[in-house]
A and B are shown apart, each in its own frame.
Chain A
Amino acid sequence: MKIYRSLDDLFESLPVVNGLSISFHHHLRNGDGVQNLILKKMNELNITKLKLYPSAIFPVHTEMLKLLQKGAIDAITTNYLNGSVAEYIAEHGLPNQLKMQTHGGRSRAIIEGETIIDIAFIAAPIVDEEGNAAGHDGPSACGSLGYAIEDSVYAKHTILITDHLVKKLEQPQIFSQHVEAILVVDSLGDRQGIVSGTTAITKDPVGLRIAANAAQLMDELGLIKEGMNFQSGAGGISLKVTEHLKNTLKARKLKAGFFSGGITQSHVNMLEDNLVNDLYDVQCFDLHAIQSLKKNPHHHAISAHDYANPANPKRVIKDLDVVILGATEIDLDFNVNVTTDSYNTIIGGSGGHSDTATDSRVSIIVTPLFKARTPIIKERVNTITTLGKNIDCLVTERGIAINPKRTDLLAKLSNTHLPIYTIETLLNKAYEYTGVPQSYDLKAQKIGVVEDRDGTIIDTLHTKKRR
């Protein structure tokens, strides 16, 4: 295995030319120094017409902004972006286009050859001298490397970048046969930004009411049962729903089957309390999750392919009973937007939103009915991230709406005390407090597309029109 100590030496060995397609993962999140390191070098070499395939883009990725301003980036395909890069693209667009994929869709596109990656630059917190890699150890430990696995296998050139090279690594996630070279650096990035610590369970009374409603809804739908499979995010409301689930499982002496997706301390505690059989971890959200992944054999690091590739019949999320998701906007057809805000600024992206909503037997959106003076329910969302046909329930602090297509769920809830309304009624309730907001068309030039997990284009993205 070729081991480089110098970035210049590494670049001399690589076919770095104009029009290059390169990929990165986002497991180092807002502490990522690797993407900046590589793109800074590309900038120094005056490489242009770059095609970038980062699984996500965060505010820390300032070198990408410099390349954008220079016009050196032709196209970007990603699953999530916010920060200065997102703002720049929303303002100026790209020479080619921005494509927003899902986590499962990204994996599918790489494996099926729709996405061609020339070089995958993979930040790897622990690497052995043979070229095996993992993320659970080392000074920049981030846990699972789930979103980098397909890149490592299918890129024409796979480069591991590490600050912790060891003789031999047990239980690697990335295997040496796919790796061309290793670059050893002083640091992969900012430790504080890599793991943000424990995410706090909401104490906000509105968030608590939403979580209580969601937990009760799950219970009345009969979803809390022996062997249930569950996924929730790391937001404060989702964590509170998870806490309710924990209490119910404990009280009824039940045990869940698996929890999947991004794993937090809440999930780990439930594994250690014997309330769930397995954790399928595509991404660790905190230090507890990283520690657990290292030591607990029932805490499994999985790839994006194993997690959510729609072409993989054994994908984990296919067996989900319920997923708890958020929304920036949701419309009267239950389409959900987590990609842009009401000013058409790009603020995120699907990640696994559409993947899990589509596969899970029941998908539940948890959100306040309005934030500040803006209703979350719209007549039409600004951007479709997840199609309404895949969203089953909307839970707010003032009531719950069930997608009318789910007549089975409505039938189960026919005798409930839960505050069930149509989504139109919930919208009118919001208007009672906020008034009817004036609508603006803020879309100017088309700059990209939203691609669902199977490759279908479900919406377009536009630059912001100045008001």
Chain B
Amino acid sequence: MSRSFLFIPGDVPRMIQQLEIFGADAIILDLEDSVSMTQKDEARHLVESFLRKHHYQNPLIYIRVNPIDSEEYTYDISTLQNLRIHGIVLPKASLKGIEKVAKDLPQCKIIALMETPEAFLEIAAIAKHKRVEGLLLGAEDLAQALNLERTEKSDEILYVRSQVVLTAKAFKKIAIDTPYTNLTSNEGLLEDAQKARQLGFDAKASIHPNHIDTIHQAFSPTKENIKRAKRIVAYAETHHTMRFSLDGKMVDKPIIEHAKAILDAAKRYRLD
């Protein structure tokens, strides 16, 4: 499972050609908000040319298309036919939009960008859709729609963050937190990412490559966790038991399963 989703503007070749070295688990090549109207054609051409030549399994490649009711969306879909990408990020997600993308690009998974109040009214239906892989909270646009002032502590989005996590988990989908937009505070980023992790998010989106290492720090198992998980799994396997005491604490099946998940993640992220 990806811990980080990095947005890269579709019209910046210098960044696109470096996408694999930023260390993100997933890249979202953006054709929407970070590309001005005059650059849309160029961005589509650039992204298409690059992805026809370069294929990636790691990082996973997603494309953020333009909203389904825009003319640009039609051009985006036409460009993306037969391109080897992992999925689509749909802005201003709605059930209608998800169904349209599912029909237009039958090979792609979809991440629903939850950034309108209306989307939250049908969040369960969106998450339940079989082609939807995850929910991504878009707090900046949502805050604007709700007339909320965004703050460093992000208390104002606690409810929608929790709603995204609960709904995504209810349908076994990925819960992805909104990007942290302050580019100067690494401490703030770490705090924000750790808070998202505590709330149950699986991953965090980012708008700057230099945020990736910190996001991974928050969303990866710690060395101590890995060490303890190894001991739990080793004890369970050696003694053929699913219930025992370790360091004075009870260990049972859910804890053993959790320890195995930590070891899987450690292996996947090369932390073992």
Contacts and interface: CB of A to CB of B under 8 A. Distances in A.
A397 interface: yes
B21 A397 contact: yes
Contacts of B117: none
A355 B270 CA distance: 37
19 contacts: A203-B210, A205-B18, A205-B21, A205-B22, A205-B209, A205-B210, A206-B18, A206-B21, A208-B209, A209-B21, A209-B22, A209-B23, A212-B213, A397-B18, A397-B21, A398-B20, A398-B21, A417-B270, A433-B17
A432 interface: yes
B128 to A, nearest CB: 37
A212 B210 CA distance: 12
A127 to B, nearest CB: 45
Interface in B25-56: 53-54
Nearest to B269: A417
* Most A-side CB within 10 Å, residue of B21, B54, B210: B21
Interface in B203-219: 209-210, 213
Contacts of B21: 205-206, 209, 397-398
B210 A208 contact: yes
A91 to B, nearest CB: 32
Contacts of B54: 432
Contacts of A209: 21-23
A212 B22 CA distance: 11
Contacts of A417: 270
Contacts of B213: 212
A136 B237 CA distance: 67
A236 to B, nearest CB: 13
Nearest to A417: B270
A21 B209 CA distance: 53
Interface in B50-99: 53-54
Nearest to A397: B21
A100 B17 CA distance: 37
B223 to A, nearest CB: 12
A337 to B, nearest CB: 24
Given A206-B21, A209-B21, 13 more contacts: A203-B210, A205-B21, A205-B22, A205-B209, A205-B210, A208-B210, A209-B22, A209-B23, A212-B213, A397-B18, A397-B21, A398-B20, A398-B21
Interface string A377-406: 000000000000000000001100000000
Nearest to A419: B21
A327 to B, nearest CB: 18
A138 B64 CA distance: 59
Instruction: Choose among B20, B209, B270 the residue with the greatest number of A CB atoms under 10 Å from its CB.
Output: B209
A379 B20 CA distance: 25
Interface string A116-139: 000000000000000000000000
Nearest to A208: B210
Contacts of B22: 205, 209
Contacts of A397: 18, 21
The 5 A-B residue pairs with the shortest CB-CB distance, nearest first, are A205-B209, A397-B21, A417-B270, A209-B21, A433-B17
A398 B22 CA distance: 10
A205 B212 CA distance: 10
* Most B Cβ at <10 Å: residue of A205, A417, A433: A205
A395 B53 CA distance: 25
Contacts of B20: 398
B189 to A, nearest CB: 14
Contacts of B18: 205-206, 397
